[in-house]
């Protein structure tokens, strides 16, 4: 069986290097590249065509969720394994909805990572033990069906990317350069975001992003 080509996306160099060094011990895996932010992860996914991307959540330029949405759209055969410190139920729900193949916490031991990669390569869904209980609890909670639609879910994938970049403090020009679109298009997306969320200034969008956990502060 050919080795699974893996791309590691994490904004901390020591984390990437540690994962890469550990995976060298696994004969089934070949680390083909590393990315320090979401935008670089998109570029290297297109260039290197990994089978699996190990994805952090909180990264500069494009966060893990926004990057995952883009990868699943442009390279649907690429599997995403989330590796993060965040076990918030809202994050888990969003990533599973985005089509990830696994969700693992950074407090897991190395053997858990190997098990996750093996499961994902077989086409299975891998969830860390404590994550599984969160998912099951959400499915078994009858009140969940009565909850109103999360305003964030009204946004398109591109609007989610633009919102994240606005919340990170990027200018319209910087967002246009990052996403390879025009400034006019960025402004149009921001207008649509404002109408869907009923928030019509940058400060309000940043506050929304913090409250919804789209960006982390501190």
Q: What are the tens digits of pLDDT across the range 116-139?
A: 999 999 999 999 987 876 666 555
* pLDDT attached to residue 92: 86
Mean pLDDT of the chain: 88
What are 176's two structure tokens? 């246009």
**Mean pLDDT, residues 3-7:** 96
In a domain, 216, yes or no: no
**pLDDT band (50, 70, 90) for residue 141:** low
For residues 30 and 133, membership in a common domain is answered with yes
Whether residue 218 lies inside any domain: the answer is no
Does 98 share its domain with 123? yes
Exposure letters 83-118 (e unless 16+ CB within 10 A, then b): bbebeeeebbbbbbebebbbbbbeeeeeebbbbbbe
pLDDT for residue 68 is more than 60: yes
CATH code for the domain of 101: 3.40.50.2300
Considering 87, 108, 140, which residue would you say is the last residue of a domain? 140
Q: How far is CA 96 from CA 16, 80, 86, 196, in A?
A: 23, 10, 14, 23
State mean pLDDT over 15-36: 94
Q: 92-117 pLDDT, tens per residue? A: 888 998 999 999 999 888 899 999 99
Are 101 and 207 in a shared domain? Answer: no
pLDDT at 144: 52
pTM comes to 0.80
Whether residue 145 lies inside any domain: the answer is no
Query: Domain end: 117, 140, 163, which one?
Result: 140
Give me the number of domains the chain comprises.
2
Confidence tier at 151 by pLDDT (50, 70, 90): confident
104 and 25 within one domain: yes
- In this structure, what are the phi and psi dihedrals at residue 192, rounded to the nearest 5 degrees? -65, -40
Answer whether residue 177 is part of any domain. Answer: yes
- Answer whether residue 146 is part of any domain: no
- Mean pLDDT value across residues 208-215: 85
Query: Domain range holding 181?
Result: 151-211
């Amino acid at each position: 069986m050919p080795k699974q080509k893996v791309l590691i996306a994490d904004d901390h160099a020591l984390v990437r290097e540690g994962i890469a060094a550990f995976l060298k011990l696994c004969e089934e895996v070949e680390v083909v590249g590393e990315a320090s932010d979401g935008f670089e992860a998109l570029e290297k996914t297109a260039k290197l065509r990994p089978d699996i991307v190990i994805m952090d959540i909180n990264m500069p330029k494009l966060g893990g969720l926004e990057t995952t949405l883009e990868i699943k759209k442009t390279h649907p055969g690429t599997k995403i394994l989330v590796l993060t410190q965040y076990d918030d139920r809202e994050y888990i729900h969003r990533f599973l909805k985005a089509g990830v193949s696994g969700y693992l916490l950074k407090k897991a031991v190395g053997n858990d990572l190997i098990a996750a990669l093996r499961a994902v390569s077989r086409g299975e869904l891998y969830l860390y033990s404590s994550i599984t209980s969160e998912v099951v609890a959400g499915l078994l909670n009858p009140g969940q069906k009565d909850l109103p639609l999360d305003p964030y879910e009204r946004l398109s994938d591109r609007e989610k990317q633009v919102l994240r970049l606005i919340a990170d403090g990027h200018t319209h020009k910087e967002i246009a350069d990052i996403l390879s679109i025009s400034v006019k298009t960025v402004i149009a997306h921001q207008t649509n975001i404002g109408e869907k969320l009923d928030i019509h200034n940058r400060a309000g969008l940043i506050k929304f992003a913090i409250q919804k956990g789209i960006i982390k502060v501190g």
